[in-house]
Amino acid sequence: MPIELKESTGRQHPVRDVQFTLDGTRDVHNRLRLYHKPDIGTYDTIVRNMEAFAAAFPETQVNLRIHVSPGNIGEFEKVCADIAILRQRYPNINPYPGFITDYRQNCVLLDRQKVSDFFYDMYNKGVYMSGFYPKLKKGGCCATAINSYVVGAEGELYKCWVDVGDKQRAIGTVMGITTLNEPLLADYMVGSSMYDDPECRQCMLMPVCDGGCTIRRLRRDKDGLATDLCPPLKNDLERNLEIHYETKKNEKRHERQ
């Protein structure tokens, strides 16, 4: 059922940003994300809840992560078209692609060049999406932020979303402050720094990329699994910088209108 929110709640407890996720267009998403009642599609429920939240919290950035894989790469453009009218009413809704990663094999399903071409294609088609170009990050992800945790279904605490459900990788519980897995916590907090990586230290984009995914870096360094941690937009850097410039220029023009 759609959530009901009061605008005053947001002012009492301000939230900087939240995230909703979709797995494609309505038909594709509903086949992948099932509700316990088969006659209710989760796509429309998520969109209604996102609209309710965006209306109640106009100062909160509402990130819509649309999952992209080799099998549904064309879905992103269609979903953006579906929510275009919604974005006109609620400009705090920001769709962006979330490229699927196989964490067991420690690899992305779309390589850097394909992702770079995807962004270029979306730009040429006039598809709006946030997060086109990397921004300077200061705090890393949840795994490396000292006061960030992911809460599991039974109150267990994790440092990475990928670990949720694997209780051997829980680092505590909401019931107390006792650390269950100090070595893993140390790996996340201090053992995955890009500043200890010789390749990163020599890269002109460091620290803008924030070093890539923390858990993939750990699995590369601790388990020997090969992976490419560099941001996709490192490919075709000159072309991507020009697109980034034009995008920002258009945003400024719209703000003045």
Q: What is the DSSP string of 150-198?
A: EE-TTSEEESSGGGTT-GGG--EETTB---S-HHHHHHHHHTT-GGG-H
99 three-class SS: strand
Those residues with Cβ within 8 angstroms of residue 111's Cβ, 6 or more apart along the chain or in another chain: 228
In a domain, 222, yes or no: yes
| Tens digit of each residue's pLDDT (9 = 90 or more) over 97-135 | 999 888 888 778 888 888 888 988 988 898 877 656 656
pLDDT level of residue 8 (50, 70, 90 thresholds): very low
The pLDDT of residue 43: 95
**pTM, full prediction:** 0.79
Domain match, 11 and 129 both: no
Q: Which amino acid is at 211?
A: G
In a domain, residue 217? The reply is yes
Statement to judge: residues 2 and 85 lie in one domain: yes
pLDDT of residue 136: 59
Residue 69, domain member (yes or no): yes
Among 76, 101, 126, identify where a domain stops.
101
79 vs 175, more confident: 79
pLDDT class of 1 with cuts at 50, 70, 90: very low
Confidence at residue 5, expressed as pLDDT on a 0 to 100 scale: 52
Q: Tell me which DSSP letter residue 242 carries.
A: H
Amino acid, res. 48: R
Q: Are residues 159 and 91 in the same domain?
A: no
93-99: strand order across its sheet: 17-22, 61-68, 93-99
Q: Please indicate, yes or no, if residue 139 is contained in any of the structural domains.
A: no
Q: Give whole-number Cα distances, 6 to 1, 2, 110, in Å.
A: 16, 13, 40
Q: What is the pLDDT of residues 33-81, one digit of tens each?
A: 888 777 788 999 999 999 999 999 999 999 999 999 998 888 999 999 9
Predicted pLDDT of residue 130: 63
d(CA 10, CA 67): 28
Predicted pLDDT of residue 25 = 93
**The token pair that represents 138 in the structure block:** 């200061």
**Rounded Cα gap, residues 13 and 54, in angstroms:** 15
Task: Give yes or no: residues 225 and 254 share one domain.
Answer: no
Q: How many domains does the chain have?
A: 3
29, 19, 257: which is closest to 130 by C-alpha? Answer: 19
In this structure, the answer to whether residues 165 and 86 fall within a common structural domain is no
> Is residue 187 a part of any domain in this protein?
yes
How far is it, in rounded angstroms, from Cα 203 to Cα 213?
16
Would you tell me how many other CB atoms lie within 10 Å of the CB of residue 95? 24
**Residue 117 within any structural domain of the chain:** yes
> What is the reported pLDDT for 9?
46
Cis bond before residue 198 (omega within 30° of 0): no
Q: Taking a C-beta distance cutoff of 8 angstroms, is the pair 170, 156 a contact?
A: yes
Is residue 60, in this structure, part of any structural domain at all? yes
Mark whether 91 and 8 lie in a shared domain.
Answer: yes
**What pLDDT is stored for residue 52 in this prediction?**
96
249 in the same domain as 126: yes
Share of the chain above pLDDT 70, in %: 88
Instruction: Give the structural domain span for 194.
Output: 150-230
- 69 with 14, same domain: the answer is yes
For residues 5 and 14, the model is more confident at: 14
Band of pLDDT at residue 250, cut at 50, 70 and 90: confident
In a domain, 141, yes or no: no
pLDDT at 71: 86
Q: Are residues 20 and 88 in the same domain?
A: yes
Burial grade of 131 (CB within 10 A; 0-12, 13-18, 19 or more): middle
13 and 77 assigned to the same domain: yes
Lowest mean pLDDT among 63-72, 211-220, 246-255: 246-255
Question: Which sign does the torsion angle of CA 209, 215, 218, 223 carry?
Answer: negative
Determine the Cα–Cα distance for residues 129 and 241; give it in Å rounded to an integer: 16
Residues 87 and 27 reside in one and the same domain? yes
User: What is the model's pLDDT at position 62?
Assistant: 94
Query: Could you tell me if 38 and 77 lie in one domain?
Result: yes
Taking 70 as the threshold, does the pLDDT of residue 7 lie above it?
Answer: no
What mean pLDDT do residues 2-8 have? 49
